[in-house]
Structure 1
Amino acid sequence: MTKEQDFMLRCLRAYFENNKVNTKINVDLNSFYELCNAHNLAPVVFSVIKDNNSLKENKTAYEAFKDAFYDGIVNYDMQKAVIDEIDELLTANEIEHIFFKGAQLKELYPTPELRLMGDIDVLIRLDDRPKAKQLLVGNGFELTEDNGPVYNYHKGDVLVECHTKIVSGKVGNADAETYFEDAINHANFDGFCGELEPEYNLLYLLTHIAHHFWFYGAGVKMILDLAVFIKHFSPDIDRVASKADELNLKRFSQIIFSICYDWFGVGKKYTDDTDCTKEFLLGFGAFGNINRNKAVVVKRKAIEDGHNSNFMTKLALLFPSYKKMKNIPYVKFIDGRPYLLPFCWIYRIIYNFKNKKDFVKEATFDLTSDETRAEAQKEFEYFEEIGLL
């Protein structure tokens, strides 16, 4: 763990316990800001060090933190106005709905404005989707994507993801999509707006973390989310970890709960074998967006699928199976239409060339090297050890 990572965790613990950090800051503050920003935690960290003289002496870092802090407040106000508008529209038209992930979690924080959120996630019943679509579009929301179980809407600069499922596809070895397919029936409603039952919701949050692990990465903010959630609802941790066994995620959940306890004093200490997972959480930013070798991820997924040769890895990357294609957002129209698979392969290649050139280049640049294969094999074995595979 670097000095910057250690200090970020100290700041987050102080925020969680409603304290300030007034001691001299002995880290590179510019690098520290970059780390906090990569984890989408700069506003939270700034709230506990904004009066610290060491920070004020570094004008560059201070201004960067301050800008992130006030941007967070502005974004919260815009997103909250849209959440309230959606709630009023759906309630007035008797459509049951649940705001989940960040839209719910941020309101549990001591200062909701500081918990950054990329988009608003709302769950409705599949039967209500046509009516909800008509309502939202009729009230100024622009429908920008309407494939599969998630419809995307924009209201100004605010993105809304309107879900009919909270999980799509498998997570590691688990068929999480089936497990959570009736999520809206596991909610407590006040009128037409509901909240997922706390222990069911906590199991979902663990599954969501596992989902991000399985792709590119999950960051420290997700553990802070768990800590805030556990502090607010006091769920039975043992019962949730036991239920996670039904998703083949018991080992993973025990590791995450142990880290949550180490870092924030809530959760439960099941194991001391957490160093690799702490390093993974700290090392790659909020969603695997820093210091992540995308080629390693691609190769590791190929190993999971039994594609050990470089040729088979490239072939699987170019021509994914129907099962995988139907969970890619921009081609979800294939769901239920497997006969469209050849067309979708062509569409996907064109789409990636136009919209994801940098990502494709990064993911395939070093795909066949011995170093990439060794790192991918190491990650595969690590995922096996923590119960994701």
Structure 2
Amino acid sequence: MNKEQKILLQCLNGFYNKKGCNIDCDFDADALYAEARSHNLSAITYSMLRNNAVLKNNAHAYKAFENDFYDCIVRYDKQKAVINEIDSLLNKNGIKHIFFKGSEIREYYPVPEFRVMGDIDLLIKKEDRQIVLSLLCNAGYEAKNTNGAVYDYVKNGVLIEMHTKLINGKVGSKSAEGYFSDAIDHAEFDGYAGHFEANYYCAYLITHIAHHFWFYGAGIKMILDLAVVIKRFRINTDEVIKILSEFGLDEFGKNIFTVCFKWFGTGKNYNCNTDKTEKFLLDNGVFGNINRDPSVIVRRKALEEGKKNAFAARLSLAFPPYSKMKELPYIKFMEGRPYLLPLGWIYRIIYNLKNRKEYTKSANKNLSDRETLKCAQDEINYFEEIGLI
């Protein structure tokens, strides 16, 4: 953990515990901004350091922090207006719905406006999906993707993800999809707007963190969200671990709870060695995709499937199974038609070359390197240590 990462955690701790933050050491303000920005935490950090002499002496970093701070407040107001509009629309039409992740959790923060949110997540019943599609489109929302378990809508620059499942597919080597398949039945409703039972929701949040770990990674903000929920609802961590044990993520949960306890004093210390987990969370940004080589991730997933050479990894990347293809938001013709899989592969290759050219290049660039293989194997070993695979 470098100096700026330590200061970032001090700022977050001061904000979370409402005790302020006194940073009296010298630090690299530009490096601190880069760390905070990579985790979408620059608004909170600025709120703690706006009067700090070191930050004030760096006009460039100070202005960058300040701009993010005010942008965050403006974004909050725009998103809040959309949340209120959708809530009113669905209540009026008798549609059960649950706002979750950032759109709910940020309201539990000491200052909700400072918690950055990229999109609004909302859960509805699958059987209500078409009527919701009609309601939102008639209300001026643009349907961007209407395939798979998540439909995307946009209005006034605000993205809404309308879910019919909390978890899609596997999480590491575990299958949590079945456990959370009836999520809407684990909620209490005030009219048609619901909130999940607290321990169940906490177990979901840890499962969601695991999902991000397995794909690219997770960042500090997900641990801060977890801390906020634990404090708000006085979560029984042992009960959450019992839930997680039903689908094999209990060791992972203990690791995450321990990190949460170390950083924010909330959760529980399960006496895990969290050095690797803390580094994994700190080093790669909010979604774990900063400073990471996509080739390592592709190679690691191929190794998990028993594909040991680079050629097999490339084939796996280029030709995913039907179970994955039918969920892709930009392929609408696959659902219920597995015989169209070859056509889907061609469509996906064309789409990636057109829209994700740089990622496709970087994911293939180092697949054959020995260092890529070593890093992929190291990641598998680490994931096994924390009970993810």
Q: Is the 8 A contact 1:257 1:268 kept in 2?
A: yes
SS at match of 1:154: strand
On the 8 A contact 2:27/2:54 being kept in 1, the answer is no
SS at match of 2:330: helix
Which is further off, 79-88 or 124-133?
124-133
Q: CA deviation at 1:166?
A: 1.3
Mapped to 1, the partners of 2:264 and 2:339 lie a distance apart of 50
Within-5 A mapping of 1:58-77: 58-77=58-77
Q: Distance in 1 between matches of 2:157 and 2:77?
A: 12
CA contact (8 A) 2:40 2:286 kept: yes
Change (3 A) 1:239 1:256: same
**Number of residues of Structure 1 aligned to a counterpart in Structure 2:** 389
- 1:74-101 deviations in Å (ceiling 9; x for gaps): 0000000000000000000110100001
Deviations 1:248-285 (A, max 9, x none): 10000000000000000010000241000000000100
Match of 1:276 in 2: 276
**Residue type of the partner of 2:326?**
K
How far apart, CA to CA, are the structure 1 residues paired with 2:339 and 2:257?
A: 43
Equivalent AA in structure 2 for residue 309 of structure 1: N
Report the alpha carbon displacement of residue 227 of structure 1 after superposing the two structures with TM.
Answer: 0.4
Matched, 1:18 2:33: no
State the match for 1:360 in structure 2. 360
Task: Return closer, same or farther for 1:327/1:174 CA change in 2, 3 Å cut-off.
Answer: farther
Letter in structure 2 aligned against 1:293: D
Aligned to 2:329: 329
Larger mean Cα displacement after TM superposition, 310-319 or 30-39: 310-319
CA–CA distance in structure 2, aligned partners of residues 306 and 61 of structure 1:
47
What's the TM-score once normalised by structure 1's chain length? 0.98
CA distance in 2, matches of 1:318, 1:311: 11
Please list the CA deviations of residues 301-342 of structure 1 after superposition, one character each: whole Å capped at 9, or x if unmatched.
Answer: 000011001221111111111123233332364233211111
For 2:116, the equivalent position in structure 1 comes to 116
- Corresponding position of 2:178: 178
Contact 1:148 1:333 survives alignment (8 Å):
no
Q: 1:355, 1:164 → 2: CA distance?
A: 26
CA distance in 2, matches of 1:329, 1:201: 26
Q: What CA distance in whole angstroms lies between the structure 2 residues aligned with 1:337 and 1:204? A: 31
On the 8 A contact 2:200/2:243 being kept in 1, the answer is no
Which one-letter code corresponds to 1:327 in the other structure?
A: E
**Structure 1 match to 2:106:** 106
Structure 1 residues without counterparts, runs of 5 or longer: none
Alignment of 1:1-389 (within 5 A): 1-331=1-331, 333-389=333-389
**Residue 17 of structure 1, CA deviation:** 1.1
Mapped to 2, the partners of 1:183 and 1:256 lie a distance apart of: 22
Q: Is the 8 A contact 1:174 1:248 kept in 2?
A: yes
Distance in structure 2 (CA, Å) of the matches to 1:330 and 1:388:
29
Structure 1: distance between partners of 2:194 and 2:276 = 37
Deviates more, 1:199-208 or 1:13-22: 13-22
Kept in 2: contact 1:325–1:332 (CA 8 A): no
More displaced stretch, 21-30 vs 225-234? 21-30
- Which residue identity does 2:137 align to in structure 1? V
Q: Indicate the SS of the match to 2:144.
A: strand
Deviates more, 1:260-269 or 1:170-179: 170-179
Q: Distance in 1 between matches of 2:5 and 2:150?
A: 35
Contact preservation (8 Å) 1:170, 1:176:
yes
TM-score by length of 2: 0.98
Instruction: Name the SS of the counterpart of 1:55 in structure 2.
Output: helix
Aligned equivalents of 1:177, 1:14: Cα separation in 2: 36
Q: Is the 8 A contact 1:19 1:48 kept in 2?
A: no
Mark the runs of 5 or more structure 2 residues left unpaired by the alignment.
Answer: none
Q: Give the aligned residue type for 2:83.
A: I
User: Any conservation in 2 of the 1:21–1:52 contact (CA below 8 Å)?
Assistant: no
- Contact persistence 2:147–2:327 (CA under 8 A): no
For 2:270 and 2:305, locate their aligned partners in 1 and report how far apart those are by CA, in whole Å.
31
* 3-state SS of 2:320 partner: coil
For residues 109-163 of structure 1, the C-alpha deviation after alignment (integer angstroms, 9 at most, x for no partner) is 0111110000001111111111111111001001111001111110010001111
Contact 1:22/1:51, CA 8 A, preserved across alignment: no
Query: Does structure 2 retain, via aligned residues, the 8 Å contact 1:149–1:163?
Result: yes
Q: RMSD of the alignment, in Å?
A: 1.0
Deviation at 1:296, TM superposition (A): 0.4
Distance 1:81 1:7 in 2: 34
Secondary structure at 2:117's aligned position in 1? coil
Q: Structure 1: which 4+ aligned runs deviate by more than 3 Å?
A: none
In structure 1, give the amino acid aligned to 2:202. L
